[in-house]
Amino acid sequence: MKNIKLVRIDFRLIHGQVVTKWKNIISAQKIIIVDDKLSKDEFLSDIYVMAAPPDVSVEVLAEETFINNVASGQYDDGKTNILLLFKSISTLRRVIDNGVPFSEVQIGGLGGGVNRKSVTNGISIDNQDFDDLRAIQAKNVSVYFQVTPEEVKLTLDKVLAKVGSLS
């Protein structure tokens, strides 16, 4: 998977920070969104495709399709820099649990809501997110929080020490 230069969880998916900052940091030529629901919604998928800059291609894939693509070596040719986006931590965990290895994962944006606690600017998690992140980290994946490139990376352990209990 040497083509995948950044794995990011961001509920907004393709938006200003992604296309003006992260895309440039990794020189992304392709954005892949992994989301079962979105992959079945042609209208919304087209909106995300149109939101990307003209020099960046976009694919919206179901989890199983992405997992199969990884297994077949589709992202290993070293020719295209890929920004991989997930809308939720639970989706990422399922992909990892199905054998897709990542060395690190960036948490970049998760909205607030009932039973969610703000852990840093623009990122809120609930107990299920916490459990999923711990499970991901237990598979030797470095988990860090960083909304923009200008911010310092915060590790999962540092964030949890900062916010205390999620309950």
Candidates 3.40.35.10, 3.30.9.10, 3.40.640.10, 3.40.30.10; CATH matching 4-163: 3.40.35.10
pLDDT at 115: 83
Residue 59's φ and ψ, nearest 5 degrees, are -125, 140
Q: What is the pLDDT of residue 83?
A: 95
Mean pLDDT over the full length of the chain: 91
* Mean pLDDT of the 3-16 span: 92
Containing 109, the helix (H) or strand (E) segment is: strand 104-109
In angstroms, rounded to a whole number, what is the distance separating the alpha carbons of residues 160 and 8?
19
Domain locations in the chain? Answer: 4-163
Among the listed ranges 92-101, 111-120, 134-143, which one has the minimum average pLDDT value? 111-120
If you write DSSP's letter for every residue of 98-130 in order, what string do you get?
A: TT---SEEEEEEB---TT-EEEETTEEE-HHHH
CA angle 30, 31, 37 (to 5 degrees): 145
pTM, whole model, 2 decimals? 0.93
Distance CA 133, CA 47 (A): 29
Task: Flag whether pLDDT at 56 surpasses 90.
Answer: yes
Which residues, other chains included, contact 24 with Cβ-Cβ below 8 Å and sequence gap of 6+?
none
**Which of 119, 96, 105, 109 lies closest to 166 in space, CA to CA?**
119
pLDDT at 18 over 90: no
Cα–Cα distance, 123 to 117 (Å, whole number): 8
Q: How far apart are CA 123 and CA 110, in angstroms?
A: 5
- The stretch 132-142 carries a mean pLDDT of 95
